[in-house]
Amino acid sequence: MNKNKVFYNLPEKIIFCKHCVLSNQRPHSVAEFKHKKNREGAIYLEIDQNGKCDACKMAEWKKDKIDWKKREKELMKLCDQHRRKDGSYDCIVPGSGGKDSSFQSYILKNKFGMNPLTVTWPPIMYTDYGYKNFKSWIDTGYDNISFYPNGDVLKKLIGLSTKNLLHPFQAFILGQYNMPPKIAKKYDIKLIFYGETHADYGSPIIETSKSLRSKSFHTFSNLEEIYIAGAKYSDLRDKYKISENDLSNFLPMKEEDFDRSDIKVLALGYYIRWEPQEVYYHAVENSGFKPRPFRSQGTYSKYSSIDDKFDDLHWYTTFIKFGIGRATYDASHEIRNKHITREEAVDLVEKYDGEFPDRYFKEMMEYLSLDEEEFFKICDKFRSPHIWTKKSNSWKLRHSVARTGADD
């Protein structure tokens, strides 16, 4: 039997978790500024011999093994050490006013007595609902710094990352992670709080043994290790004529500057049990957050990833590259939180995963100066042959969680 070619160092054999609906093709979180075309050194979701993935193990760990009262006391102690009595900022909450950042800022301010500065790297193209939620968030009592990068450079990097990596969201992710530590340094703030831990999405459980996020996500020591939009730093500067000043806004801090500033990048989800649906209800009640009256394309949810018109396209590209779309992530979370059964999740994934995002598609293609045919050709180049096959001139997954794939 001939083996199908495998892209991106993905596991050759596709295996689905027997408890949720994720497959072992789900990539672990990596530093975006080291993202090469071949995903050299990439690692993926572990599923054990009993068919249980690391994300499901983490959910059980959170339920049975973690003393949440003890962890809340740890957080209070940390806040006591850094809380400023003069009313100046003592922590940063990065976000755009979605359910997560709304929850984070509210809890830190109202339960732990902190004075957070909110920091926003704005969406590429705000949706009307996203911008209204952002305004509602700030209007409930937070100062905010929004950093808008050079629009021409942003567009150029998004175009390159789409063509080279099929990753139109990369520039946004770079800004979202790399700008807050720079703002923290400027204001002499020592604590930065993000939301969930990476382990909630399937990264190794060992990552939850401490609250600090690895500084490898936020720092660099040598420009030669920088890859953005599938290109080396030197090529971005010399070949694509992006100035070092403009590139600097997308880069992480230098490791020596980060260490000298004594900044701690933390996951609030390490200290407080995090359930997406409960976080959503809290944001609605306390921050004026409103879902859209219609679901996001590619899933059944009306409240996740609704800030940016590029969100739905981003999840479509993960479906192309890994066979995993937004519905898979949403449904897996809800299985672990006992909101739906696996059978219900399988049906939802079968119905919505990989749905083409046509709502804002033409607007996005105009932004990228791509015609539709060119975009689909780019997509086809990124379909790994071990995930996809062509039947009757249409692409079909070889394996699906519903066992309706071409090779199931």
* Radius of gyration of the chain from its Cα atoms, rounded to whole angstroms: 21
Q: Which residues of 96-134 are buried (b: 16+ CB within 10 A; e: fewer)?
A: bbbbbbbbbbbbbbeebebbbbbbbbbbbebbebbeebb
High-pLDDT (> 70) share of the chain, %: 96
Would the pLDDT of 1 be above 80? no
Q: Indicate whether 62 pLDDT > 90.
A: no
Give dist(CA 21, CA 15) in Å, integer: 10
Residues of the chain above pLDDT 90, percent: 82
**How confident is residue 203, by pLDDT bands cut at 50, 70 and 90?**
low
pLDDT recorded at residue 277: 86
Considering only CA atoms, which of 162, 163, 203, 165 is closest in space to residue 53? 203
Give the model's confidence band at 207: pLDDT under 50 very low, under 70 low, under 90 confident, else very high: low
CA 317 vs CA 37, 158, 384, 404: distances in Å: 15, 13, 12, 21
Task: Say what the alpha-carbon torsion angle 311, 314, 316, 319 is, to the nearest 10 degrees.
Answer: -130
Model pLDDT for residues 314-325, shown as the tens digit of each residue: 999 999 999 999
Q: For residue 2, is pLDDT > 70?
A: no
Domain 58-375, second-level architecture: 3-Layer(aba) Sandwich (3.40)
For residues 30 and 41, give the distance between their C-alpha atoms in angstroms, rounded to a whole number: 10
381-406: average pLDDT = 96
Identify which has the larger pLDDT, 311 or 38. 311
Mean predicted lDDT score pLDDT of the chain: 93
Which residues, at least 6 apart from 126, have a Cβ–Cβ distance to it below 8 Å? 134, 307, 308, 309
- Domain-by-domain residue ranges, the chain? 58-375
* pLDDT band at 208; cut points 50, 70, 90: low
User: Given pLDDT bands bounded at 50, 70 and 90, which one contains residue 384?
Assistant: very high
